[in-house]
Amino acid sequence: MALKYIIKDFHKNGDKQHVGMTITDDKERVFIIDKEVDFQEGRTDEEYINDALVLMKPEIKEWEDSFKVVGKEFDVDNKKFKE
């Protein structure tokens, strides 16, 4: 599944850098997530975004995994998914 990452928020919040993303999958499902990382003078925007993305990855994976069985047909008599 290909994901598209769009920055929706990016601002300093005290001693933290706030990064918000809107993530869209290839079926147009949307996941919105925000994280804050430590602010350090001299870092690039890309470095902050990558740091935040590391923190976001487990939640993004959980969101992706939530669709694994969506749309599959389940055979209640055989107690398994239909082929």
Q: Which runs of E-coded beta strand occur in 1-83? A: 4-13, 16-24, 30-38, 74-75, 80-81
| Per-residue tokens: 24 | 């869209």
Q: Which pLDDT does position 83 carry in this prediction?
A: 85
Per-residue pLDDT of the chain (83 residues; tens, 9 = 90+): 699 999 999 999 999 999 999 999 999 999 999 999 999 999 999 999 999 999 999 999 999 999 999 999 999 999 999 98
Q: Taking Cα atoms as reference points, which of 15, 12, 7, 13 lies closest to residue 49?
A: 7
All structural domains of the chain with their residue ranges: 4-81
